[in-house]
Structure 1
Amino acid sequence: MDTPARDKDASLGEDIRLLGRILGDTIRDHEGEFTFDLIETIRKLAVASRRLEDVESRKSLARTLDALTDEQAVLVVRAFSYFSLLANIAEDRHHLRRQRQHRQDGMEPLASTLRGFFREAKSRGTRREDSIATLSKVHVAAVLTAHPTEVQRKSTLDAQLAIADWLARRDAPGTLSEERTAAEIELRRLIASLWQTRMLRPVKLAVRDEIENALAFFGYTFISELPALQADVEDAIAELPGDGARPQLPPVLSVGSWVGGDRDGNPFVTAETLEQAFRRQGQTAFDHYLAEVHALGAELPVSRLLARMTPALERLAETSPDRSPHRQDEPYRRALTGVYARLVATADALGLQVASRTAVGAVEPYSDPQAFAADLDIIDASLRGNNGALLADGRLRRLRSALRVFGFHLATVDLRQNSAVHEEVMVELLRGANVENDYAGAGEDVRQRILREELSSPRMLRSLFVDYSELARGELAILETAATTHRRMGAAAIRQHVISKAESVSDMLEVAVLLKEAGLVTPGEKPTSRLQIVPLFETIADLRRAPETMREWFALPEARSIVASLGGVQEVMLGYSDSNKDGGYLTSNWELYKAEVALVEVFREAGVRLRFFHGRGGTVGRGGGPSYDAILAQPPGSVQGELRLTEQGEVIASKYSNRDIGRRNLEALLAATVRATLDTAPRAEHSDYHAVMDELSATAYAAYRDLVYETPGFVDFFRATTPIREIAELNIGSRPASRKPSERIEDLRAIPWVFSWAQCRVMLPGWYGLGSAVDSFLGRRGPEGQAVLAEMWRTWPFFRAMLSNLEMLLAKADLSVAARYKDLVPDPVLADAIFSRIRTELDATVRAFFTITGSIGFLESNPALARSIRNRFPYLDPLNHLQVELLKRYRAGATEVKVKRGIHLTINGLAAGLRNSG
């Protein structure tokens, strides 16, 4: 490492050594000197083996690990897992420290920050009114999902946050020596507690647990940072040249959720879980509002003897049940006491149990969030009209902004179900109503005719005299609950119904008819809808059909009427995970891009505004990677002010458990969306770029499909060489690992598919097929082809982002580690044959990457990540080694609790060390 890099990372090294030393002392105190010496020996051997490439150390490490008892193996796994967690904390803390240092040094802000974005806007001469016009149409929604790759418990996350906080206090400017000592004692206390905290859950998560886990991130980040970011955007606009006062924009950022409403492949999501999700979300929102209103009352003891008030404020104070003689000359406090009482009454009316103080009297509840907002507006106007703008711009402004973002519902919950389930329910309803006895066997034209007729009719299909299946009753119940919630909590509570595996217009019409049964679609010649009917195109075939499917949809008068009733916007969701599992990394990326380009044109022809919902996962194999770059790499015109994207798995915790890091990620989402919205000019994509990608994709697709779906024994290889069975047993989510009870890869969910390949360090979903594609292309085109690929890398954001994400996974893949997993396959001939193909393809992919980019090493443009990966590898090697050893013992019949627990701990530790593994 050169001197400047060493100097700027000195604090990081100090933090890691400090935390490592405390962890070591904790292990010595709790497990004894022998265990500490054993772990320290393994650590030194692992470092020498990896960093010094010492062969004898590698052999000695293997012998030492293989000789461990089950109990010792568990202790070693816990030690190395906790070290990875502590290293993560130190790295995150260092990133924040470096960002603050850059600002203090006067460095130009990054383009992905709000400061960077508005600095550029100023330099371009952007006027205030133009910025208002643009940002008034911008809305970005990060949608939290309950996909089960978050292996950390909330108690562990809370401990990590506390450790990060004490690290920050320890090195704060001006800290006294005794304060540093006190901070170190607190760190020791926290790490001692962490060491004695169970890393794994004793039972499988229920949906209610996932609801609580998702809500935690509102407390960590969203409730405070979304209103703060909104205020910062409005303040930055006010600094631009132009006329008019500071704007009050519609919310530019919000948070959605699938937790409690996503029932695709999850039989445990029911009407009851949806109701519970909103009950807990509502409680969280009201707890925040009540606390803020109470605090605001304490901040505004403004007397009418010393300041003027508006008549509207005086009337609001008079309606308050607060008759205390001590506050008769303090109308703001009296008004807020009344607001507090109405909030308590509203929570009671909604059936929410909130942590409120006793209201001073009985009052009417608010009818909706707008009525609450109207009272706050009266207080705001009175302050601003009487020299109190400074007071209005504090807690009151944040509260008003929070109400606009969160309403009474906190987060919009999407409904999602598989199209095959919708079909089953329609079969029952149509048969029971004597409309159609063979809907399942009907062709697409017949289906559309039947469903369109039902949309025009006010008659319900459901009958009290028909005995429906449990499936149909459950689906109808959740839609009824959605309708009730929609009326009770407001239209923003539920806005979307996502259709997984959408393949046809009838799939969308089925949902429209089902929503009609719940009163969420109003029938007639021109039906209207309260929810967006969102097709999710997620296989390669679905993506290729998507433009024609949407063209057919817009050709229906009923569909046009539904779209018009929703403001002329139609949402389309694109699935990254399943398209990758279906067609491989390169083909998935290219088909997604082509689908977006084609859909933009279809929507332009139809005169409908397009909103994309990107179903991205945490790892590259599921569409992950830096969100800022990914958004800017979208086709021109595909980001039209509004954008939704999923946040999944352990990425949620890494992005949003720390408030400062969470804010940074939210800023990046917003900055990228605004830039992409403004970027409507055609890019310099030469006519042959798309032809080249078609050529590359065809070869990559054939290579990937040949290995994964057409190679005899591949499923056996996959299930033996990865810990997929053991992952399925982990208590990390309520959703089953497979959509159907089968061994087929087609039925396996994309999350455990990617997660398991990461555990054994192959990372196959994130790169397989690209090497064959480039080799074949260069074999035909030669040096001219290489020049074209290099030009695409330099000038095309899509191609560059695709290869940059691939680079990250190539840097983390390690087939020397993966080779040990190969020995888990019972048939050595099969194992060698398939592993040899994987090794050959990885070599070709690495060669292709360097040939195209001209790089001489991985992550040259991101030295911080390169150092992080390099420093982590020695501590991951023992975890991988022990995972293989414990899997051998377990599969050979050693079913003791400690063996199984050890396997699950290695899964946890590797996920923490790799960071974006699922």
Structure 2
Amino acid sequence: MKSTYEIEVGKRFTIYNSLFLDLPFDDIYQTGTLLPILGSACEKGLEKGMSPKEIIEKFFEEMLQSKSEKERHDVLFQLIQYVERQVVLFDSIEDAAFEKINEINGKGSMRALVARAEADGNRKKLIEKLKTFSIRITLTAHPTQFYPGNVLGIITDLESAIESNDLEHINLYLQQLGKTAFINKSKPSPEEEAASLLWYLENVFYFSIPDIIFRILKQLNLSIHDWDNPQLFQIGFWPGGDRDGNPFVTHEVTKTVASRLQRWILKCYYRDIRKLRRRLSFKKVEPIILKVEGDIYQSLFADQENPIQKDELLSQLYEAREAIITYHNGLFLDLLDEYILKIKIFGFHFASMDVRQDSRKHDGLWKEILNTDQSPTMEELFSTQSLPESYQDDFHKEMVESFKTIPLIQKQNGEEGLHRYIISNCQSELHIMEVYRLAQLTFPKEDGLPLDIVPLFETIDDLANAPGIMRSLYQDERYSKHLKNRSMKQTIMLGFSDGTKDGGYIRANWSILRAKEELTKVSKEFGLAVVFFDGRGGPPARGGGNMHNFYASLGTEVENEEIQVTIQGQTISANYGKEITCTYNLEQLLSAGLENHLYPTPEKQLSNEQREILEQMAKYSYDAYKDFKNHPKFVPYLEHITPLKYFGEANIGSRPVKRNKDEGMSFDDLRAIPFVGAWAQMKQNIPGFYGIGNAISTMEKEGKLEDVKKLFQDSLFFRTLLGNSMQSMAKSNYKATKYLSEDKEYGEFWKKMHSEYQESLKYILEVSGMNSLLEETPVIKSSIAIRERIVLPLITIQQYGIQKLLENPELKDEEVYQRLILRSMFGIINAARNAA
């Protein structure tokens, strides 16, 4: 597979990269000629221990001696733009080769799993699990995608041209890239974020999800019409509903986004019914199909206030189906059944919106409602029979309006359109009951509250306390009655991102697994089905990496009725940006959950001895990470050295970098994305590995190194954990910031993190038995190596800007260096694909 990768991706990139030199732009030949010289200078210079400033200044002296300082910096900006477009070209080449460098029908595919189940007598068991299982992918607007929409469109066309080796169009699209801005002039609004993700719903998920289901049913010889689990795949949607720290999301925005979701799915249905009508031209059938087409048209273009309802639409289609069977021998019945199943899958909502808000905001609202400075008691919550007609705080008024909006959307899009309220920073039973009572007071007075209340446990302490909180909640008669009305199902969200930010890599992952196991026990005790919703990001530091192995490794102690996970930013475009990649990754998730049920193997179950080892390592790594996090230079380093503050200026998302914008820099208020992203920009990737080296070295001192090695061999969970961490370390480059080791203020701090990096690298290789990182995943290893080589000039230029500002705080032209830092960010993060 590696040799295939080198031919299909590596060699192609070398060939197509030469096309840049022929682009008809000013100074393009000079830029294209200088870039490999700078790249080589960066590689050799860092190897020799030169600082980024020394490398760049030597480059200036050797190649741009006659140029003024301004002209020299202009060349750097041109080089940055050139590299950005190289990254796009590489992405497109890699994506175009997806089918050749990935085993589409191999391990992890549904074709392989169904064939295995057929062969070993597990067919019936597989079918029964498929009837109740579900995968829910929730698209979020979290800002990790630096490409504006028009650039994404060019990338899509470029991929197609590369797949067909269409040199003429490749050249044209590269020219278009050269003329197209890579930076948004202003921050996108929540509505614009929603619109960008709607593209994926309409052009990718709408086709991939039904296709997977149709193929599975065909392979298992099951009837599409009789299939009773259309929710095998579900799409969640956060843009327009995620209010946590985002003042730009209002109840009006929520209503607007919900309307757009319905309108877009109706557009898809209208497009398909027009195609279907061409086949179903029979007597007693065609009039019904024409009626359906007309009703959808009316809903889209004429009477948008009173669209046709889902049940009414399905009723007409079932009538047409009966007529096809009765009068036309079932001709083209399969086409109609496929259309009906699409409507069952996507409904009139397309994707299910979630509302999310921080528990501290609910506390504040209740304090105003009760006119008190203290947090409310449970008795006060339920003694309140109505809400005030007016509020002193406009934000509190807006929160109440958000609750009132939910039933309106349910009436318009169906209950599936918005039926969950997620509580960030949930730390007590009271935080959940505050939301429950607010919903009771704002929803129409009907039997049963049509809302699932989802606590989000994030910090290490919150994860440890979660089982006790949920036990208390389950024992509350009021909430217990609510759960009976919600099919005895409780969804609980767990935050990988903030968990890692709070407790470090091993502690967070182990704490989440332990929390899942304990929450499963508690929920079963009360006769409840618990569903875990994982708040994951792209990189391993935020719960990313190899998700297939992660979900396959959870064992039988964790409830396995559904897999729910957030997908965001670059992970959406990289893993779900076109049908083939979307299908592949959805199948990987589905087969992981099913495989865990069908084939529980010893490597997926943790013995008491293995748990003890993991607990010890989690403790040691947590101690090391806490010590590092409590270092007096930790927050100052993030604030003054890393590009953290520039994330807010990148215009990639509507959310602020931190929750409380009016307060100074605080670790607790830092959002996980810029936190992880800042370390990724510095090529230090602290959240993805810190503490591993300390943990394993401590185990070695206790004579338990062989136990850790055996754990790696025997436990898929631990193997996946270290494998994902290897990705973080492979994207690290401490040579680029070695100059900081000499800094009077931050030198000791840099040496501390570098020491842990070296120790982690040493012990990960020793425990895994590998000679180099990612030795057993050569395609990932090659991809990372090429990407890091492409952006090495950007890394050096960015550090040059940081170093100049650090050494000369009073620089008159500091804005130039700040711009260099900011402009370098785009290419660095895009090349990493899952860096934040």
Task: Describe the shift of the 1:837–1:244 C-alpha distance in structure 2 as closer, same or farther (beyond 3 A).
Answer: closer
SS at 2:231's partner residue?
coil
Match of 1:876 in 2: 791
Cα deviation per residue 1:278-300 (whole Å; 9 max; x = unaligned)?
12111211111111112221232
Q: Tell me if the contact between 1:138 and 1:642 (Cα under 8 Å) persists in the aligned partners.
A: yes
1:917 aligns with 2:835: yes
Q: Tell me if the contact between 1:521 and 1:530 (Cα under 8 Å) persists in the aligned partners.
A: no
| Equivalent residues in 2 for 1:276-355, closer than 5 Å | 276-302=256-282, 304=283, 314=284, 331-332=285-286, 334-347=287-300, 351=304
**How much has 1:219 moved relative to structure 2?**
3.0
**How much has 1:187 moved relative to structure 2?**
0.8
Match of 1:775 in 2: 697
Give distance in 1, aligned partners of 2:677 and 2:172. 33
Letter in 2 for 1:301: S
Give distance in 2, aligned partners of 1:888 and 1:658. 40
Letter in 1 for 2:532: F
| Equivalent residues in 2 for 1:743-762, closer than 5 Å | 743-762=665-684
Match of 1:675 in 2: 595
**How much has 1:237 moved relative to structure 2?**
2.0
1:516 aligns with 2:440: yes
Match of 1:417 in 2: 357
**Alignment match of 2:493 (pick from 569, 573, 586):** 573
Task: Describe the shift of the 1:194–1:592 C-alpha distance in structure 2 as closer, same or farther (beyond 3 A).
Answer: same
Match of 2:67 in 1: none
Larger CA deviation: 15-24 vs 160-169: 15-24
Q: Tell me if the contact between 1:350 and 1:488 (Cα under 8 Å) persists in the aligned partners.
A: no
**How much has 1:807 moved relative to structure 2?**
1.0
Letter in 1 for 2:711: M
**Alignment match of 1:799 (pick from 713, 718, 725):** 718
**Alignment match of 2:549 (pick from 629, 653, 659):** 629
Give distance in 1, aligned partners of 2:755 and 2:48. 25
SS at 1:110's partner residue?
coil
Q: Tell me if the contact between 2:693 and 2:756 (Cα under 8 Å) persists in the aligned partners.
A: yes
Q: Tell me if the contact between 2:741 and 2:751 (Cα under 8 Å) persists in the aligned partners.
A: no
Q: Tell me if the contact between 1:230 and 1:401 (Cα under 8 Å) persists in the aligned partners.
A: no
**How much has 1:888 moved relative to structure 2?**
4.8
Letter in 1 for 2:498: D
Cα deviation per residue 1:682-734 (whole Å; 9 max; x = unaligned)?
855232222222222222112111111x2122221222221111122210111
Give distance in 1, aligned partners of 2:612 and 2:32. 59
Give distance in 1, aligned partners of 2:269 and 2:60. 54
Q: Tell me if the contact between 2:161 and 2:169 (Cα under 8 Å) persists in the aligned partners.
A: yes
Give distance in 1, aligned partners of 2:772 and 2:224. 52
Match of 2:310 in 1: 369
Match of 1:188 in 2: 171
Q: Tell me if the contact between 1:568 and 1:608 (Cα under 8 Å) persists in the aligned partners.
A: yes
Match of 2:527 in 1: 607
Output the TM-score relative to the length of structure 1.
Answer: 0.85
Letter in 2 for 1:141: R
Give distance in 1, aligned partners of 2:831 and 2:373. 53
Match of 1:904 in 2: 822
Q: Tell me if the contact between 1:149 and 1:732 (Cα under 8 Å) persists in the aligned partners.
A: yes
**How much has 1:453 moved relative to structure 2?**
4.5
Match of 2:369 in 1: 429
Give distance in 1, aligned partners of 2:691 and 2:636. 21
Q: Tell me if the contact between 1:628 and 1:672 (Cα under 8 Å) persists in the aligned partners.
A: yes
SS at 1:143's partner residue?
strand
| Equivalent residues in 2 for 1:464-613, closer than 5 Å | 464=389, 466-519=390-443, 522=446, 528-613=448-533
Q: Tell me if the contact between 1:11 and 1:94 (Cα under 8 Å) persists in the aligned partners.
A: yes
| Equivalent residues in 2 for 1:618-767, closer than 5 Å | 618-678=538-598, 684-708=605-629, 710-740=630-660, 741-767=663-689
Letter in 1 for 2:80: V
**Alignment match of 2:187 (pick from 182, 204, 212):** 204
**How much has 1:634 moved relative to structure 2?**
2.1
**How much has 1:852 moved relative to structure 2?**
1.4
Greater Rg by CA: 1
**How much has 1:54 moved relative to structure 2?**
7.8
Letter in 2 for 1:667: E
Match of 2:159 in 1: 164
**How much has 1:19 moved relative to structure 2?**
2.2
SS at 1:614's partner residue?
strand
**How much has 1:822 moved relative to structure 2?**
6.3
SS at 2:132's partner residue?
coil
Task: Describe the shift of the 1:416–1:679 C-alpha distance in structure 2 as closer, same or farther (beyond 3 A).
Answer: farther
| Equivalent residues in 2 for 1:106-121, closer than 5 Å | 109-121=105-117
Q: Tell me if the contact between 1:448 and 1:505 (Cα under 8 Å) persists in the aligned partners.
A: no
Task: Describe the shift of the 1:876–1:348 C-alpha distance in structure 2 as closer, same or farther (beyond 3 A).
Answer: closer
**How much has 1:675 moved relative to structure 2?**
2.1
Paired residue total? 821
Q: Tell me if the contact between 2:39 and 2:792 (Cα under 8 Å) persists in the aligned partners.
A: no
Letter in 2 for 1:216: W
Give distance in 1, aligned partners of 2:813 and 2:397. 41
Give distance in 2, aligned partners of 1:902 and 1:539. 35
Give distance in 1, aligned partners of 2:814 and 2:692. 42
SS at 2:538's partner residue?
coil
SS at 1:646's partner residue?
strand
What percentage of aligned pairs have identical amino acids? Answer: 23
Output the TM-score relative to the length of structure 2.
Answer: 0.93
**Alignment match of 1:63 (pick from 51, 58, 65):** 58
**How much has 1:821 moved relative to structure 2?**
6.1
Task: Describe the shift of the 1:694–1:131 C-alpha distance in structure 2 as closer, same or farther (beyond 3 A).
Answer: closer
**How much has 1:387 moved relative to structure 2?**
5.3
Letter in 2 for 1:420: R
SS at 1:643's partner residue?
strand
Letter in 2 for 1:906: S
Task: Describe the shift of the 1:30–1:296 C-alpha distance in structure 2 as closer, same or farther (beyond 3 A).
Answer: farther
Q: Tell me if the contact between 1:576 and 1:615 (Cα under 8 Å) persists in the aligned partners.
A: yes
Q: Tell me if the contact between 2:610 and 2:711 (Cα under 8 Å) persists in the aligned partners.
A: yes
Give distance in 2, aligned partners of 1:767 and 1:695. 16
**How much has 1:894 moved relative to structure 2?**
5.5
Give distance in 2, aligned partners of 1:44 and 1:390. 65
**Alignment match of 2:203 (pick from 213, 220, 224):** 220
SS at 1:157's partner residue?
helix
SS at 2:164's partner residue?
helix
Letter in 2 for 1:603: S
**How much has 1:518 moved relative to structure 2?**
1.9
Q: Tell me if the contact between 1:46 and 1:874 (Cα under 8 Å) persists in the aligned partners.
A: no
Cα deviation per residue 1:71-124 (whole Å; 9 max; x = unaligned)?
11111011112112211221222232244xx67xxxxx4231111110111111
